[in-house]
Amino acid sequence: AQTVTQSQPEMSVQEAETVTLSCTYDTSESDYYLFWYKQPPSRQMILVIRQEAYKQQNATENRFSVNFQKAAKSFSLKISDSQLGDAAMYFCAYNNNNDMRFGAGTRLTVKP
Amino acid sequence: DAGVIQSPRHEVTEMGQEVTLRCKPISGHNSLFWYRQTMMRGLELLIYFNNNVPIDDSGMPEDRFSAKMPNASFSTLKIQPSEPRDSAVYFCASSSVWADTQYFGPGTRLTVL
């Protein structure tokens, strides 16, 4: 069974600084998708970034970028120039054949 | 563009009562997913449909739970009878591409007393 592990239950960053959230996953598949979702206190699940496993190039979306290491089964999220609005729970997710698995989440606090 | 719509946003009911949660996927999306989120178990996939047909319901916890998708724009998740341990946030999500990005609704917070 595929599992997703987020080893950092909580992280903190100073406003305008950079923070990296870790995620590892376990799979025997070669073709899949990886995602980071953000869940603010409103509880809405918001897509942050998406990575296709067959693409070696790391995905980027404005201040958000990933470090995808397929052989190591690692998928970390880097947030640059952190803003107060980035404070939320962040979930890493793995999707193969519509079997979507989520990590336990990392709570990010942004200090002004 | 309208996102995934769920109703109600909050539901409080008493143990033993029937609860029906509703979802309208994004227009044009052909896959629909129901998830449950709790502190103890995190986000769990309950069931998903493709082209209105249930594909995988292995995550449905027990026979008290049932889901239907009578057409491409509407799905329900029913719990009968409800129990306090069913208290959770229930999310609906939809997708237009098989095994790709899922877009989530705002969720329904269910409290069973």
- Contact at 8 Å (CB) between B104 and B33? no
Q: What is d(CA A86, CA A76) in angstroms, rounded to the nearest whole number?
A: 16
Q: Does B98 contact chain A (CB < 8 Å)?
A: yes
pLDDT digits (tens, 9 = 90+) for A80-105: 999 999 999 999 999 998 888 999 99
Provide the pLDDT for residue A98.
85
Summary mean pLDDT of chain B: 95
CA distance A83 to chain B (A): 23
- Could you tell me the two tokens for B75? 């799905």
Q: Does B108 contact chain A (CB < 8 Å)?
A: no
